[in-house]
Amino acid sequence: MNTLSIRLTTLLSIVLATALFRLVPHWPNFTPVAALALFGAATFEKKWLGLVAPFAAMLLSDVIIGFHSSMGAVYFSFGLTWLIGALALRRPNVVNVMAASVASSLLFFLITNFAVWFGSSGSAIQYYPQTGAGLMACYAAGLAFYNGQSFFLNGLMGDFFFSGLLFGSYYLLQQRFSVLRPA
CATH number at residue 159: 1.10.1760
What is the span of the domain harbouring residue 140?
Answer: 3-180
Nearest-5° Cα angle at 162, 91 to 76: 80
Q: How many domains does the chain have?
A: 1
Nearest-5° Cα angle at 6, 5 to 9: 80
> pLDDT for 45-98, tens place per residue?
888 888 998 898 888 888 888 888 889 999 999 999 999 999 999 999 999 999
Which of the four pLDDT bands, split at 50, 70 and 90, describes residue 182? confident
Percentage of the residues of the chain whose pLDDT score is greater than 90? 48
Q: What is the pLDDT of residue 33?
A: 93
Q: What is the pLDDT of residue 122?
A: 66
Q: Is 149 helix (H, G, I), strand (E, B) or coil?
A: strand
Strand partners, 150: 145
